[in-house]
Amino acid sequence: MEVIIQPNVEQAAELTARLIAARLRAKPDLVLGLATGRTMERVYDRLADTQRSGGLDFSRCRTFNLDEYIGIPAEDEHSYRYYMNHHLFSRVNIDLANTHVPDGMATNLRAEAARYERLIREAGGIDLQLLGIGEAGHIGFNEPLSALMSRTREKALTPVTRQQNAGMFGGDPDKVPKRALTMGVGTILEARELLLLATGAAKASILAKAVEGPITGMISASAIQLHPNCKVIIDSEAARKLKERDYYDWIFQNEPEWQQFRALTSGSTSP
Ligand code: GLP
C-alpha cells in the first residue's frame, strides 16, 4: 500500500482524477470500478472537465459501481444510478450500456447479486477500483462484520452510515434505506488495483484504523492492506491521525512511479 498525502481536498481529488485518467489513456477499454459519496464529486468534476477539453476518451470504458440502495428506483435522485448519471456518465462520452450499477429494485436480490458478479467476470475483472471510506469503516457498503471473503450481496446499513448519508435524504437518517446491495470485500480485493480517496477531519480516525490498524471484519476498509496494488490518497485533514506520515511523504517525493504526478503539488492543475 502507498499513502499519498496532499495539502488539501482539491489536490487530493485532482491527483485521484489524474491517476484514473492515466490508467484510461493506457488502456482505453479499462474496466473501472466506481464509488459514490460527496468525496467523489470533485473527482468526477475533474474527469468531466478533462474529457470535455479533449484529454480523455470514455467511449470504450466499462464501469461497475460498488453498491446501490435497495428499494430506490434508478430514476429517483437518491439512487446511486442517478448519482452516477448526474455526476459523471451524462458529462462524458461513455456508452451508458457499458455502465453497471447493481439493481436495488430487483425482485430477486440474490439473483441480482449473482448476475452482477457474473458481469464483472465476463468483463475480465476490474482493472482499477475507486473506493471511498464510510465513517463506519466500510468500503462499498461492507458494514462491520462483513466477511473479508464476501461477494456481492444484500447488507443492512448501520445507524452510523444512515446518519452519515442522511445529508442526501434531507438530513433525516430515517429516510435513508435500511439495506443495500454491495460488492463484497472479496469482490473488491479481486480488482487489479485499488485507489481509495478520503478527505476531511471526520475521516481521520477511521482512516488511521483502516491503514495502520489490524485487519478486521469490523472495519472492512482495513482489508485493503491485503491488496498488493493499493493506493490511498488523502488530504492533510484526513491524515491527522496517521503515525508514519514522514515515510508516506518520502515515498511520494522519491519513488519514480509518482514522478509525473508530483508537479501537481507545485501548482499544475490539468489532469
Ligand atoms: C457511501 C458509499 C461508500 C462511500 C461513502 C463515503 O456510504 N456506499 O462507498 O465510501 O458513501 O461517503 P462520503 O464521500 O460522502 O463521505
Give the residue among 58, 57, 56, 82 at the shortest CA–CA distance from 69. 82
Residue 18 in grid coordinates: 489524474
Which residue intervals of 154-220 are DSSP H helices?
159-164, 185-189, 204-212
Gap between the Cα atoms of 214 and 212, Å rounded: 7
Q: Of all helices (H) and strands (E), which one includes residue 118? A: helix 109-122
User: In which order are the strands placed within the sheet that holds 67-69?
Assistant: 67-69, 179-182, 153-156
Q: Would you write out the chain's pLDDT as a tens digit for each of its 271 residues?
A: 999 999 999 999 999 999 999 999 999 999 999 999 999 999 999 999 999 998 899 999 999 999 999 999 999 999 999 999 999 999 999 999 999 999 999 999 999 999 999 999 999 999 999 999 999 899 999 999 999 999 999 999 999 999 999 999 999 999 999 999 999 999 999 999 999 999 999 999 999 999 999 999 999 999 999 999 999 999 999 999 999 999 999 999 999 999 999 876 544 444 4
For the CA atoms of the chain, what is the radius of gyration? 17
If one residue of 142, 157, 164 were mutated to test the ligand 1 pocket, choosing by the most ligand atoms within 8 A of its CB, it would be: 164
Residue 263's pLDDT is what?
Answer: 73
Tell me the CA–centroid distance for residue 132 and ligand 1, in Å. Answer: 6
10 Å CB burial of residue 75 (0-12, 13-18, 19+) is exposed
Q: Are strands 179-182 and 153-156 parallel, antiparallel or unpaired?
A: antiparallel
Nearest CA owner, ligand 1 atom 12: 37
Q: Is 62 helix (H, G, I), strand (E, B) or coil?
A: strand
Specify which residues 130 forms β-bridges with: 195
Nearest CA owner, ligand 1 atom 11: 37
Gap between the Cα atoms of 41 and 13, Å rounded: 9
Residue 265's pLDDT is what?
Answer: 57
CB–CB of 51/92 below 8 Å? yes
Residue 98's pLDDT is what?
Answer: 98
Residue 125's pLDDT is what?
Answer: 98
CB–CB of 16/233 below 8 Å? yes
Q: At what angle do helices 38-52 and 80-87 cross, to 10 degrees?
A: 30
Q: Which residues contact 115 (CB under 8 A, 6 or more apart)?
A: none
Residue 133 CA, closest ligand 1 atom number:
10
Q: How many helices (H) and strands (E) does the chain have?
A: 9, 10
Inter-CA distances, 144 with 94, 134, 166, 218, Å: 34, 11, 19, 4
Cβ < 6 A, ligand 1 pocket: 35-39, 66-67, 132-134, 140-141, 161, 165
Residue 57 in grid coordinates: 476518451
Q: Are strands 179-182 and 99-100 parallel, antiparallel or unpaired?
A: unpaired
If one residue of 16, 44, 138 were mutated to test the ligand 1 pocket, choosing by the most ligand atoms within 8 A of its CB, it would be: 138
